[in-house]
Structure 1
Amino acid sequence: MFIPLSFKDVINRFVDNLVDHYGDTLRALSESVLSGVLLPLESALRALPPWLVLLAMGLLGWHATRRLRQGVLLAGLLYLIGCLGLWDPLMQTFALMLVAMTLTVLLGVPAGILMARYEGVRRVLQPLLDIMQTLPTFVYLIPVLMLFGLGKVPAIFATVVYALPPLIRLTDLGIRQVDHDVAEAAWSFGPTRLQLLLGVQLPLALPSIMAGINQSIMMALSMVVIASMIGARGLGEDVLIGIQTLDFGRGLQAGAAIVILAIVLDRIGQGYGGRRVPPCR
């Protein structure tokens, strides 16, 4: 009744061929990211005194929201994670988030700019972004496991792929929503396309871009527990151990710490994203 149809063999041959030809390169890339970026950053964060981290996050929260009470509250929430005995896993998760979000911004903002500039790029990326946003999260682990194996680096790459779509879409949307009259007025002064982009379009699109970064941070945090299944340590590992050992208290405690971290980062992101760009004179 049904016509046999399967593409798994094609995919498997493609991945096997990729590993055979580029396996050494991929392993070198993984090792360079791990030993050159992630581990030094993680060691630096874990070596910092907690009071200094709390002070820095409190100041960042105050700078983002322009409310001293909000900065104190955010620092207090992070202090609560330390009181739960999860400060060290928090720093591990924070290091992974910093690396993943740096890569996400470096890839997502230029991709969103290209989508806004070129209709052909938009037609190609639009269906890819639809697929990336509808695939189950566990599916992201399959290709990174095949190419990079277990560890923190594949967890970073899986997180980046999962967190990219909202940033690309909102960067594209922000640039497209820049007032055409403003762009035309700026264009009349004779700037290059790059000058127009950097001096007019990106500043006016910044609230939308910041909203995209905020959304990407939330999606990256949702991958923390899943990424722990392939070797990423941190708060997600405690949740996973709690599930495996039926230690519900440990799992819920680590889950609460992830929620607190999400609240802190969300408030900071909303604070920067909600700022209005001063009108052009």
Structure 2
Amino acid sequence: MTFEVKNGCYRYPGTERQVLQNICLHVESGKVLSILGSNGVGKTTLLRCMMGMLKWNSGESLLDGTPLRQIPERELWQKIAYVPQAKTSVFSYTAKEMVTLGRSAHLKMFELPSAEDEKLALACMESIGILGLKDKQCNEMSGGELQMVLIARAMTSNPAMLILDEPESNLDFKNQLTVLNCIQELSRQRGISAVINTHYPDHALQIADDALILNRDGTCVYGESTEVISEENLNRAFSVRVCIRSVEVENEAFHCVIPISSRSAAAQ
């Protein structure tokens, strides 16, 4: 599967400022793309435009060469699954019930999930290590537990691509690592591509093949993650002076991104 955005431009209705300008990106099967940028720069807007939830003012998104606008909605959501930010659930669904909802793209109107759908939901939960949560109420879960449930829900549609909006935000170290390892395993072992919004450049360096950094003027820098996530590009996008270092642990290299000072402080 190949997903592309060609020259995507977007501005909010009634405004003149281009939030996104000439965005181009390319995601192949089994690859991970990380999207970075400061708060309010338009990362979630980019995801929504990519998926067709918002309409590009110019440019387009394509799946295997076909514009998304030409793909029937049900067919599209069988191939692409969206994982929103995990926030406290107000629903009293059990984890099993929540995950089974992911089969909706494969069901007809008013059709209820079958025993096979429920079996698949449990299999998806087991595959990412959360089967023990199946009877737990979603409104009683931690942020990390709920995030994993949402990933399992997305997996039940057997997608070719996952799009995740800040999947590791507001999680502790352990849960961040659990989510990152899950995404990495899905891409490397199952060939599922992933697009991830993140606030963590070091996470992007850890799991992403490519990266896209959004600047405040709507432009972007896009390419291989190790080239795009540089001290210069992060300084420009975040107005923060950073230092990037590589640390080797048990014969494996890890990249550390260390913020040194804000641009205003550095100028004093």
**TM-score between the two structures when normalised by the length of structure 1:** 0.23
Normalized per residue, which structure has more helix?
A: 1
The higher radius of gyration belongs to: 1
**TM-score between the two structures when normalised by the length of structure 2:** 0.24
Normalized per residue, which structure has more strand?
A: 2
